[in-house]
């Protein structure tokens, strides 16, 4: 980073430094220095930005709200106005940017609104329908990335410079949540016999499928991993598989990881794709359980474990992220809404997770996900509608040059227990979008 900008601010805080690092160092590839001395700011000969309400000289100025200068958690008043088709958070009526861009970026990336009491869904999650993004109709827009683009254009114009150029790192990352490696095989003797008995009593068709898979050598219905990877690799797409290794519960149907077939399959797939852990349903509120599953995963896989995505996207901010950090996770992929596709943190770029309660940045990089196949097929009434949703989000991410991360599930690809199979969506993505 050869270019540098001096920023005047009345106060230096962890929140401010975190935000400026994301905006300038990561996205604009520009280093920055802070000063609270008007004289130092005045004599500086390079690029300058005044982040205060004090009028110093004719340089770019952003009027701050209080959010970046606070340490306490208190509900801020978020004024929102629309300019040039964008919803601007922390609007302040000033010319040029019209809002506190840095306060807005911090509010969205830190998931500030999730630290306060909210109406939980049936799985104790923060849902899109109660978010500020949905209430103000920007859930399908990566606002943070558009804010940074606007800021760069304004700075270049104001400073007669071309040094501020937002990084363009467009890529598509295909991820697969493996809740169970096999639907019928490798479930353990007791579970297999019990399932067969239930199917024999209630569902003869299911019994026939189970029996032919278990005793006649028919492929397991969701053993699609090689085909899935072959399709992605043919388009040179990056893939990540997240494996469940927890115990069986009402919401966890994974195969017992101690079985040789499961160990072998996980290690076989790890030679073809990047992998991570998929902590089970109750781990978001149970440190002992999540620690046990990490130990179990490390005992099975020879690959270093540093990627994670929570099952059902169940996590509690900041508690779950603290546990993950302690266990060595540095790349986290749970930042998505379960009930609506879009941008939970209003960005399509990775960002460092900020712990508001401890008022510090963590060592975890969050990789926001904007499209889940199961959400699309549940919310859309037709394949055409779900394809349109996929395409629209893809185009939004491509416009800002971010990371388009999609989530797929073997059962959903095959159409089990969902209104529509998502395989046509996956095929469309590879054939027409990437």
pLDDT digits (tens, 9 = 90+) for 167-216: 888 999 999 999 999 988 867 655 655 655 565 566 666 666 666 666 66
Q: Cβ(195)–Cβ(210) under 8 Å?
A: yes
So what's the pLDDT on residue 192?
Answer: 55
pLDDT digits (tens, 9 = 90+) for 228-270: 999 999 999 999 999 999 999 999 998 999 999 999 999 999 9
In the chain the first and final C-alpha atoms are separated, in Å, by 31
Beta strands in 116-157 (DSSP E): none
Q: What value does the mean pLDDT of the chain take?
A: 93
Report d(CA 34, CA 20) in Å as an integer: 10
pLDDT digits (tens, 9 = 90+) for 387-413: 999 999 999 999 999 999 999 999 999
CB atoms within 10 A of CB 257: 21
pLDDT exceeds cutoff 80 at 369? yes
Q: Cβ(147)–Cβ(349) under 8 Å?
A: no
Report d(CA 340, CA 153) in Å as an integer: 32
Q: Which two tokens stand for residue 394?
A: 């893809």
Mean pLDDT value across residues 264-287: 96
Q: Is the peptide bond before 318 cis (omega within 30 degrees of 0)?
A: yes
So what's the pLDDT on residue 38?
Answer: 95
pLDDT digits (tens, 9 = 90+) for 287-309: 999 999 999 999 999 889 999 99
At 219, the pLDDT band (50, 70, 90 cuts) reads confident
Mean pLDDT value across residues 275-294: 97
23, 35, 58: which is closest to 148 by C-alpha?
23
Domains and their CATH numbers in the chain: 4-158 (no CATH), 171-183+220-433 (3.20.20.370)
**Percent of the chain with pLDDT strictly greater than 70:** 93
So what's the pLDDT on residue 193?
Answer: 56
The pTM of this model reads: 0.95
pLDDT digits (tens, 9 = 90+) for 9-67: 999 999 999 999 999 999 999 999 999 999 999 999 999 999 999 999 889 999 999 99
So what's the pLDDT on residue 205?
Answer: 62
Mean pLDDT value across residues 400-427: 96
The DSSP line for 349-377 is: S-EEEEETTTTEEEEEEE----EEHHHHH
Q: Please state, in angstroms and as integers, the Cα–Cα distance from residue 150 to each residue in 86, 101, 145, 299, 400, following that order.
A: 10, 9, 9, 48, 11
Residues linked to residue 355 through DSSP beta bridges, in sequence order: 360
């Amino acid at each position: 980073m050869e270019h540098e900008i001096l920023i005047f601010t009345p106060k230096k805080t962890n929140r401010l430094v975190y935000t400026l690092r994301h905006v300038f160092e990561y996205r604009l590839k520009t280093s920055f220095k802070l000063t609270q001395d008007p004289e130092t700011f005045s004599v500086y000969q390079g690029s300058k930005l005044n982040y205060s309400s004090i009028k110093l000289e004719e340089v770019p100025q952003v009027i701050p709200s209080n959010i970046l200068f606070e340490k306490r958690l208190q509900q801020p008043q978020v004024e929102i106005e629309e300019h040039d088709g964008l919803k601007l958070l922390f609007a302040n009526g000033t010319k040029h940017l019209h809002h506190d861009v840095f306060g807005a970026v911090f509010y969205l990336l830190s998931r500030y609104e999730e630290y306060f009491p909210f109406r939980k869904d049936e799985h104790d999650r923060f849902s899109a329908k109660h978010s500020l993004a949905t209430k103000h109709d920007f859930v399908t827009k990566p606002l943070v990335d558009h804010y940074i683009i606007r800021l760069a254009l304004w700075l270049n114009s104001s400073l007669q410079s071309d040094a501020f150029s937002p990084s363009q790192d467009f890529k598509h990352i295909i991820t697969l949540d493996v809740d169970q490696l096999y639907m019928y095989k490798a479930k353990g003797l007791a579970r297999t016999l019990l399932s067969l008995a239930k199917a024999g009593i209630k569902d003869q068709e299911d019994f026939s499928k189970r029996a032919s898979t278990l005793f006649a050598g028919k492929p397991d219905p969701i053993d699609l991993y090689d085909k899935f990877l072959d399709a992605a690799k043919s388009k040179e797409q990056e893939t990540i598989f997240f494996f469940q290794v927890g115990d069986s519960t009402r919401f966890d149907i994974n195969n017992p990881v101690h079985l040789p077939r499961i160990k072998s399959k996980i290690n076989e797939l790890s030679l073809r794709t990047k992998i991570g852990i998929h902590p089970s349903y109750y781990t978001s509120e149970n440190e002992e359980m999540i620690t046990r599953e990490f130990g179990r995963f490390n005992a099975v896989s020879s690959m270093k474990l540093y990627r994670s995505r929570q099952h059902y996207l169940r996590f509690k901010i900041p508690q779950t992220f603290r546990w993950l950090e302690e266990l060595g996770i540095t790349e986290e992929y749970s930042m998505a809404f379960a009930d609506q596709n879009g941008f939970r943190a209003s960005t399509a770029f990775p960002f460092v997770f900020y712990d508001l309660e401890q008022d510090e940045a963590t060592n975890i990089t969050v990789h926001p996900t904007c499209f889940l196949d199961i959400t699309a097929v549940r919310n859309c009434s037709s394949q055409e509608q779900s394809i349109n949703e996929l395409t629209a989000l893809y185009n939004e991410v491509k416009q800002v040059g971010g990371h388009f991360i999609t989530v797929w599930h073997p059962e959903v690809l095959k159409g089990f227990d969902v209104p529509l199979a998502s395989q046509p969506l996956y095929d469309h993505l590879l054939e027409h979008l990437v």
